[in-house]
Amino acid sequence: MLDRRPSLIIGAAIFVSAALTCFCADAFAGTGSFLTPSTTTAMQVDAPPIDFAPSPALAKQAMAALKTVDLPLKDPPPAPFIQATIPWFGGDIVSKWSRAVAEMHAESDVLARCSEDMKACPEAAQKLLAIVAIGRTHTGRARIGMINREVNLAIKQIPMDESKPWDPGLAVRWSAPLESLASGSGDCKDYAIIKYVALIAAGVAPEDLNLVVVQDLAVRNEHNGHVVVAVHVDGRWLVLDNRWLALAQDDELPRFVPKYLIDHNGVRAYLRSTARAGSAAN
């Protein structure tokens, strides 16, 4: 039985003291400072004591989230960052996302086995189910904030040594959630994919979720590509970033120039990306 009484404010201090770097390893190199948005939505989130042990029911929910990650959506809300998008069918980003979807389908089989025998459930799957369980004890923004916090603290940022060549085989990989949780490390893409799946398993509607590839203008070098999660709640888009625990609205982040949007319907490109692309799709 765990007695968790976390808050985003307290969690932010923990996040800083943990000395986690904040760049996306392959597309966001060259910065190691703790960044915060200029304006954020902060909240106190108190959780009642509860047993967060994984259960067969949670395993079934997570299995469904992974298995249906490419199930087409009907009538999603307008895209975050108030810009039009068009379907995008070519380029590396499409192949990377397609590969990640295939791996998530495979990981759904792991969760299916967990639902039948929790004793045989791998540690990485149990970590994902614990995150989902924590999220399901809350609703609305509190649920989103808790899952953002738990995922940000669940794995460590992959360190970047710019003096050495980056392994492209590792750098371009978009990992499925269990793979990242098993390794204990990842970059912005990996954090975002775990959150995307965990939020769905915790009860957030898939049409209210996007992965967004952005160019971060606050990063003053060519490695300023980044991936975040956008969640539609109460008529607004909230942005979840692996570099901070507070929730920020999309219109509070002029530093972000959106490049691509990814959801169950696949990849879409933003039409009005006026800044240089950098390496945002890597």
Give the 3-state secondary structure of 261-273: EEECCEEEEECCC
Domain extent listing, the chain = 8-44+54-270
Segment 163-206, tens digit of pLDDT: 444 443 445 689 999 999 999 999 999 999 999 999 999 999 99
- Rounded CA-CA distance 194/187 in Å is 11
Q: What is the mean pLDDT of residues 236-264?
A: 96
Listed in order, strand segments (DSSP E) in 200-255 are 209-216, 225-233, 236-240, 248-249
Confidence check: pLDDT of 261 > 90: yes
| Per-residue confidence (pLDDT) for residue 151, from 0 to 100 | 98
pLDDT of the residue at 91? 86
Which pLDDT band holds residue 24 (cuts at 50, 70, 90)?
A: low
User: What pLDDT shows up at residue 167?
Assistant: 43
Least confident of 34-48, 76-90, 110-124: 34-48
- Report the pLDDT value the prediction gives residue 52, as an integer from 0 to 100: 59
Domain 8-44+54-270, CATH number (from 3.40.50.720, 3.10.620.30, 3.40.50.1970, 3.40.50.12280): 3.10.620.30
As a whole number, the mean pLDDT across the chain is 80
Phi, psi of 215, rounded to the nearest 5 degrees:
-105, 125
49 burial via Cβ count (<10 Å: 0-12, 13-18, 19+): exposed
User: What pLDDT is attached to residue 273?
Assistant: 54
Percentage of the residues of the chain whose pLDDT score is greater than 70: 73
pLDDT of residue 219: 87
